Amino acid sequence: MKTNRIRHLLTKILVDIMFFGGIAACIAVPFAMPHFLAFAGSPPELRTIYTVIFIGSGLCAVYIAYQLKCMFKTLLSGNPFVSQNVSGFRKCAVASAVIAAIFLVRLILWFTISATLIMLVFAILSLFCLTLKDLFKQAVVYKEDADWTV
C-alpha cells in the first residue's frame, strides 16, 4: 500500500504542476499570441479570435486541474468515495464539453486535423467523466449503506 501512496503523491505533484502551469499559460497567451501567429505565418487579424479560443479552453483546462486537485485531497485522506468527488466529476464533464464546443466552433471557422482531434478527445473525456461520476455516485451510496449497518 505504501507504493500506492507514493504514486498518489507523485500524481498530485504533477496535477499541481499542470494547475499552476495552466494559470501561467493563460496569463501568457495575450502576450505570446503575436509571436505564435508570426511563427505560423497566420494573419494578425486572427489574434483576437485565437486569443479567445486559447484563453477559454485554457481556463476550462485549469478548472479541470483544480477539480483534480480537490479529488486528490480526498484520495490522500483515505476517503475518495464522497459526494464532493461526484460533483467534481460532473464539473469536469461540463468543462470538457465546453472545450469540445469551443473547438467545434473553431472547426466550423477553420478546419484542421488537430482541432478535430482536440474536439473529439474532450468530447470523449466529457463522457468518461460522466461515467465516472455515476460510478462514484453508486460507490458513495454503497459506502453510506455500509457505514449505517456497522
Tens of pLDDT, residues 8-54: 888 889 999 999 999 999 999 999 999 988 898 888 888 899 999 99
pLDDT tens, 41-64? 888 888 899 999 999 999 999 999
Listed in order, strand segments (DSSP E) in 13-100 are none
Cβ neighbours of residue 58 under 8 Å, at least 6 residues apart? 22, 25, 26, 29
Residue 37 CA to residue 49 CA, distance in Å, equals: 12
The model's pTM:
0.89
